[in-house]
C-alpha cells in the first residue's frame, strides 16, 4: 500500500488503490494520482507514450480501453 513515485525525481504518479492485476509482467494502474502526475503524447493508435509530469522520465504507455472495466485505460 502507498504511493508510487518517479524513480528519477520522486514526483507522485500512482496510488496503490489504482493498481490491479493484469496479464502483463508490469504493474498496471487505472489512473494517475494527480492530474499532472504524467505527461502523455500519442505514439500509435490505442497507446500513448507516458512520462513523468515533472522531470520527463519515461514511464511506459497508457493503453486506451484496456483497463479492468469497459472504457478504462491501463497505465
Give per-residue pLDDT as tens, 15-72. Answer: 999 999 988 888 999 999 999 999 999 999 999 999 999 999 999 999 999 989 999 9
| Domains in the chain with CATH codes | 3-63 (2.170.150.20)
- The pTM of the full predicted model, rounded to 2 decimals, is 0.87
Q: CB atoms < 10 A from the CB of 12, how many? A: 17
Residues contacting residue 75 through CB under 8 Å, at least 6 positions apart: 14, 28, 29, 30, 31, 32, 38, 50, 59, 60, 61, 62, 63
**Residues paired with residue 18 on neighbouring β-strands, in sequence order:** none
**How far is residue 2's CA from residue 42's CA, in Å, rounded to a whole number?**
29
Amino acid at each position: 500500500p502507498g504511493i508510487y513515485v518517479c524513480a528519477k525525481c520522486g514526483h507522485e504518479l500512482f496510488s496503490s488503490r489504482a493498481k490491479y492485476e493484469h496479464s502483463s509482467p508490469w504493474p498496471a494502474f487505472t489512473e494517475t494520482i494527480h492530474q499532472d502526475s504524467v505527461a502523455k503524447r500519442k505514439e500509435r493508435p490505442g497507446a500513448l507514450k507516458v512520462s513523468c509530469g515533472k522531470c520527463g522520465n519515461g514511464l511506459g504507455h497508457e493503453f486506451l480501453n484496456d483497463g479492468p472495466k469497459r472504457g478504462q485505460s491501463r497505465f
